[in-house]
């Protein structure tokens, strides 16, 4: 059995298999699509419905464990059902995890990566497994603990990762005062959020100044930058324009997407990424 598969989508929802469990969750991008396999939906083990804002409730057809794990190549990740309809993993990031590992290996020297809004750490672990030193920053201490469990499951507990529970802008300002520098940046900012001391994050007003501050941390030695997002109004081109503006280099932009078993593509946010390229040799 595959660790993950998008079984079907349509009518504003998606049906996904995470290991042995089939989950029915909202997917606004699936509005306007018809179901490809209507019969499959009756087999869902649990369905999530929003009850207000981002929160909601899970309704169970079968008993699920509190936690379970799935493999992602050489990595292992713990999953669980959250009050926000998340499970601890965004499979649409798979191509980015592979890209991160490729950039770290291609650097031919130790790479210091700053991963902000780092959630449960799949990008952190992809970088660490490839040999990077990673600073993993997320505002929620319980989510940082979850990421550390994923490192242990992936046999990366001894990898050079700094685990930080802190508001991202606060942490970046502190690193600038300390004179710290990094070789690579990874971001996946939310639309809205709160830091551990009540700091408010709004992507419309806070992303651009944070990105500018982070570029200062690169100190002219950047190897790669990855910016992904699931917020309305922040599609691939806007993300690429932000990177272009602050890096002074052209970024690659594309939608993140998942393909269901019928071969249809479901949009799942945008991303922009840039990697240093050596100057062509003189002829």
The answer, yes or no, to whether residue 279 has pLDDT greater than 80, is no
Summarize the confidence of residues 143-149 as an average pLDDT.
98
- Look up tokens 């990874």; give the residue: 186
Helices (H) and strands (E) in the chain, counts: 6, 16
Mean pLDDT computed over every residue of the chain: 93
Question: What confidence score (pLDDT) does residue 140 get?
Answer: 94
10 Å Cβ neighbour count for 268? 20
Question: What confidence score (pLDDT) does residue 176 get?
Answer: 96
Phi, psi (deg, nearest 5) at residue 240: -65, -40
The answer, yes or no, to whether residue 186 has pLDDT greater than 90, is yes
Question: What confidence score (pLDDT) does residue 278 get?
Answer: 65
Name every residue whose Cβ is closer than 8 Å to that of residue 65 and which is 6 or more positions away in sequence. none
Render pLDDT for 74-121 as a digit per residue (tens, 0 to 9): 899 999 999 999 999 999 999 999 999 999 999 988 899 999 999 999
Is there a contact between 13 and 33 (Cβ–Cβ < 8 Å)?
Answer: no
Question: What confidence score (pLDDT) does residue 2 get?
Answer: 66
Q: Which of 50-54, 76-80, 87-91, 204-208 has the lowest mean pLDDT?
A: 50-54
- Where residue 197 falls among pLDDT bands split at 50, 70, 90? confident
- 182 CB-contact burial (10 Å; exposed 0-12 / middle 13-18 / buried 19+): buried
Residue limits of CATH 2.60.40.1180 in the chain:
4-73
CA gyration radius, the chain? 19
> Beta-strand (E) ranges in the chain?
4-10, 13-18, 21-26, 46-52, 55-60, 68-72, 75-79, 112-116, 133-138, 161-165, 184-187, 192-194, 200-202, 224-229, 252-259, 265-275
Question: What confidence score (pLDDT) does residue 173 get?
Answer: 96
Query: 90-275 adopts what CATH topology?
Result: Rossmann fold (3.40.50)
Render pLDDT for 217-253 as a digit per residue (tens, 0 to 9): 997 788 999 999 999 899 999 999 999 998 888 899 9
The two three-digit tokens of residue 225, written as one number: 């930058």
Report the greatest alpha carbon distance in the chain.
67
Indicate the CATH number for domain 4-73: 2.60.40.1180
What stretches of 9-116 show up as alpha helix (H) in DSSP? 94-106
The answer, yes or no, to whether residue 281 has pLDDT greater than 60, is no
Q: What is the pTM of this model?
A: 0.92
Question: What confidence score (pLDDT) does residue 280 get?
Answer: 57
The answer, yes or no, to whether residue 1 has pLDDT greater than 50, is no
Helix (H, G, I), strand (E, B), or coil: what is residue 145?
A: helix
Name every residue whose Cβ is closer than 8 Å to that of residue 145 and which is 6 or more positions away in sequence. none
């Amino acid at each position: 059995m595959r660790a993950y598969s998008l079984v079907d989508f349509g009518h504003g929802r998606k049906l996904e298999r995470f290991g042995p469990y089939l989950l029915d969750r909202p997917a606004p991008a699936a509005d306007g699509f018809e179901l490809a396999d209507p019969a499959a939906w009756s087999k869902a083990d649990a369905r999530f419905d929003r009850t207000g804002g981002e929160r909601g409730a899970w309704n169970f057809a079968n008993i699920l464990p509190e936690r379970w794990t799935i493999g992602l190549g050489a990595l292992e990740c713990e999953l669980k059902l959250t009050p926000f309809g998340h499970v601890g993993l965004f499979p649409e990031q798979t191509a980015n995890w592979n890209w991160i590992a490729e950039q770290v290996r291609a650097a031919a020297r130790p790479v210091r990566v700053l991963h902000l809004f780092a959630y449960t750490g799949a990008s952190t672990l992809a970088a660490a497994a490839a040999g990077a030193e990673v600073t993993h920053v997320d505002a929620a201490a319980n989510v940082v603990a979850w990421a550390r469990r994923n490192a242990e499951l992936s046999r990366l507990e001894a990898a050079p990762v700094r685990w930080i529970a802190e508001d991202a802008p606060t942490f970046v300002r502190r690193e600038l005062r300390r004179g710290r520098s990094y070789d690579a940046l990874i971001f996946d900012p939310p639309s809205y959020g709160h830091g551990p001391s009540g700091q408010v994050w709004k992507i419309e007003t806070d992303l651009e100044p944070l990105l500018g501050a982070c570029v200062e941390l690169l100190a002219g030695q950047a190897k790669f930058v990855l910016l992904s997002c699931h917020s309305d109004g922040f599609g691939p081109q806007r993300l690429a324009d932000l990177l272009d503006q602050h890096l002074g280099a052209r970024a690659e932009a594309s939608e993140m997407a998942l393909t269901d078993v019928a071969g249809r593509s479901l949009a799942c946010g945008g991303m922009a990424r840039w990697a240093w390229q050596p100057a062509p040799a003189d002829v």
